[in-house]
Amino acid sequence: MKRRELILSSAALMAVQAHAQASPTRILVGAPAGGSTDTLARALATELGRLLGKVVIVENRPGAGGNLAADAVAKAAPDGNTLLMSFTSHAINASLYPTLPFDPVKDFTPLTCVATSPSLLVAHPALPVKDVRELIALARAKPGQLNFAIGAMGSSLHLAGDLFKMQSGVFIVNIPYRGTAPAIQDVIAGQVELMFAAVGNAQAHVRAGKLRALGVTSAQRLPAFKDVPAIAEVLPGYESSAWFGLFGPARLTPELTRRISDAARQAIATPEVRRRLEMEGAVPVGNSPEEFSKFVHNEIQRWAKVVKFSGARPE
């Protein structure tokens, strides 16, 4: 290459890099404003922008279980200006949907897992059980007579229930609702006996005595609910925590991948972001791109088995 061409090529590259740095970074969220994924993305965005030295904004693109936002990021330029705050559905959708307009592995660059969010198995207080062991015994004695309220078919909370049924061998009927709020209200009212609910959605009702917590879906007991056993204490190996992760499009350079991941992990470690995450009932994580990539691969394989068992179809 001639010297003049080399200078022009270098100048063009610098111009592209300068434009990318000056442009705002968008974090696309495949869920409506106000939900946990949106709240966590906004908690991260301000601190991430400060660490990257640029404006970071959150853009909601709800629909198709998060697939609309994921598709937009999969097709975005690999310049670090379009990111995805995804959730457990990124792994579930790989087997839930017969076809997707993107590959959930090949079309993304995993950056870091932001947080995990265990859920509570809750029951109406009138149900004559105090823990998971008693629930399994009752469900075996009355197959098909107990019900799970399901906020969204194919969601992580739906599949937490089906994983429970798969491992315990009980038959509990799923009652679908359009959203978590009406589902949890019907459990409180006694219209449905049981539900898997995010800690953030259920904890106030549990503390008020409107719901009874039978178990937590994390591998160990939660500090905020020390008296509530982990379901794994009765069903060894049971675990079903929702997770929230930051992705970029495929083909991000290793340098850009590391830069964004390091900044996101530093942001997650700040007291303000940790406080916001914990207010949502989430447990901060902040792992490396390599660790997160391995985690996503494992999650896709794990949930595929549960989706097959459940027979779930996208709504």
> Rounded to an integer, what is the distance from CA 4 to the centroid of its chain?
50
Report d(CA 122, CA 155) in Å as an integer: 17
Instruction: Kindly give the residue spans of alpha helices, DSSP state H, lying in the chain.
Output: 3-22, 36-52, 67-74, 89-96, 132-141, 156-168, 180-189, 199-207, 254-269, 271-279, 289-310
Tokens 């970029």 identify what position? 248
Instruction: Return the percentage of the chain with pLDDT > 70, whole number.
Output: 93
* pLDDT (average), residues 130-156: 94
Q: Which tokens belong to 231? A: 């379901």
What letter does residue 66 receive in the DSSP assignment? Answer: G
Q: Decide the pairing of beta strands 147-150 and 56-60.
A: unpaired
Of the pLDDT bands very low, low, confident and very high (cuts 50, 70, 90), residue 13 is very low
pLDDT digits (tens, 9 = 90+) for 183-214: 999 999 999 999 999 888 898 999 999 999 99
pLDDT digits (tens, 9 = 90+) for 219-265: 999 888 999 999 999 999 999 999 999 999 999 999 999 999 999 99
Q: How far is CA 182 from CA 150, 158, 206, 254, 287, in A?
A: 10, 15, 17, 45, 35
| 119-233 has the same fold as 3-117+242-310 | yes
pLDDT digits (tens, 9 = 90+) for 56-105: 999 999 988 899 999 999 999 999 999 999 999 999 999 999 999 999 99
Range 119-233: architecture per CATH = 3-Layer(aba) Sandwich (3.40)
Q: Please say if the pLDDT value at position 15 is more than 60.
A: no
Q: Which residues does 283 contact at the CB level (< 8 Å), separation at least 6?
A: 115, 116, 117, 118, 218, 241, 277
Instruction: Kindly give the residue spans of alpha helices, DSSP state H, lying in 142-288.
Output: 156-168, 180-189, 199-207, 254-269, 271-279
Query: Which SS3 state, helix, strand or coil, does residue 79 take?
Result: coil
CATH superfamily entry for domain 3-117+242-310: Bordetella uptake gene, domain 1 (3.40.190.150)
In the chain, DSSP finds a helix count (H) and a strand count (E) of: 11, 11
Domain ranges for the chain, please list them.
3-117+242-310, 119-233
What letter does residue 222 receive in the DSSP assignment? Answer: B
Report d(CA 117, CA 128) in Å as an integer: 28
Q: Which tokens belong to 112? A: 């870091």
* pLDDT (average), residues 116-144: 96
